Every structure is written in structure tokens, then in C-alpha cells.
Amino acid sequence: MLPIEYIEIGPLSISTHSLLIAIGILIAYLLWYKQVEKNNLSKNIAENVVLVGVLGGILGARLLYVLLNLQLYANIIDIAKIWEGGLVSFGGMIGGVLAAIGYILYKKQSVMPWLNNVMPYLLLGWGIGRLGDFLSWSEIGTPTSVPWAITAQGDIPRHPAQLYSTIILISVFFLLRWLATKPAWKQRIWSVGLIMYGTFRFLIEIIRDYPDSEYIFSYRSFAQLISLFLVGLGVAMYVWYKTHKSTIGGSIKK
């Protein structure tokens, strides 16, 4: 396999990773947008939620990368050079979700209906974005001898960890969409999604390979710690729903 790091579109040279992330966001948004009004949510607010979430995600992904690699940045100008690469997916997830929640609260909406509605599509977009990692052969897996191992650019055979991520995240998308049609589960989609994503991410870290010098400490341990936190948060929210479901209301369109 020959990695495709950049795709030429006319005079533009776009990183494959960035392009697939953008495609993933677009596809997820278009599919989610069709469901918004059906769930008594405002399309106008939905449009802004996506915009704010994307901007918050980019900022969060960059900020966490910088914090994990302070030794690489001598001044603020270098930190701002986001086009040179350096993003952490967990930071993007946290930044995007917090920014979206902030906007939803600003619009005086109930947060949980929005989170439950959007969770499957967050994972779908993320899964499509991971295809960019596969095509550019970044976020690589550990060496392996399994029959489906992939060799890129003369490297040793490795787990296609990026494809595992894509397959699992898209599968979880379909599972959550199915659960969302069940009245008993409709208000638990966010918590179930957190539990499933956290569990998957903890396990996938076992077969992801990281350069020893990339971070000031073990990123695998850091990622697994965050994953366990997400699982715990999902379980706590699931239990909270069971004890407070009679007080959870829908959102009012504005």
C-alpha cells in the first residue's frame, strides 16, 4: 500500500486526513439535519450547533496537542500554525461538545435532547474521518502476523487499526440509530454512546503504535484513562436517567 498524504485539487494540495474529516462532518451533518425536526428540535439552532461545534473541536484538538507537546512550541505564533499539523482527537471531541453545549444553553434549550439526537452522527463522522488516517497511513497499528495485516511503503505488516475504528464506529452508528427508535432507549443514546465509544477506544489503544518521542508521556495511557472516564460518565448518566426520567422534557423550537 502506498500512503496518500495529500490530494491535489487544481492548485490546492489538501491533506487526505483533513479532507476525510471534512467529508465525515458533511455526511454526518446532512443525515442528522434530516432528523432534527422530526425530534422537535430547531433546524436553525442545529445549523449553528454544527458550526460552533466544529470551531470548538478544532480549537480543542489543537490546544490539547500543544499541551501534550509544549517542548515543541517556542512562541504563540508557532502554536497558531495549525496547518502544519498537530491535532488530538480527544481534544477535538471535548472542545466540540463543550462549545455546542454552551451554545445550546445560550439558546435556552434543554441539552439532553440535543445530545441524544446527535450522538450517532458524531460517531459516524468520526468513523469516516478515520479513513483519512488509513489512506495517509497515520495513527498506525502495531506489528502483527494476522492474515489481513497491511504493509505500507515497505514497512512491516501492521494491524489496520484505522479501518477497525471506521468499521466499529459506523457499526455503533447503526446500532444507536436503531436504539433511538425504541421508546425505552431514546433518552439514553448519549450515555450508551459514551459507554460504547469509551470501551472501544480503550481496547483499540492496545494495538495502536506511537513513536516514543512524540509525547512527553505515554499517550496510550492517557487515551485509555480518558476512555475509562467516558465509560464512567456514560454509566453515571445512564443511572441518572433511570432515576430522573420523569423530569426530562423535550426541547422547545426557537
Torsion 201-202-204-205 (CA) sign: positive
**What local confidence, expressed as pLDDT, does residue 134 receive?**
93
pLDDT (mean) for 98-111: 95
Average pLDDT over residues 11-35: 90
* Tens digits of residue pLDDT in 150-166: 998 888 999 999 999 99
pLDDT tens digits along 115-149: 999 999 999 999 999 999 999 998 899 999 999 99
So what's the pLDDT on residue 249?
A: 45
- Name the amino acid, one letter, at 12: L
Q: What is the pLDDT of residue 215?
A: 57
Q: What is the pTM of this model?
A: 0.88
Answer whether 129's CB lies under 8 Å from 87's CB: no
Kind plus residue range of the DSSP H or E element containing 116: helix 111-136
- The pLDDT mean for the chain works out to 87
- Number of Cα atoms under 13 Å in the Cβ half of residue 219: 23
**Cα first-last separation, the chain:** 50
As beta bridge partners, residue 9 has 12
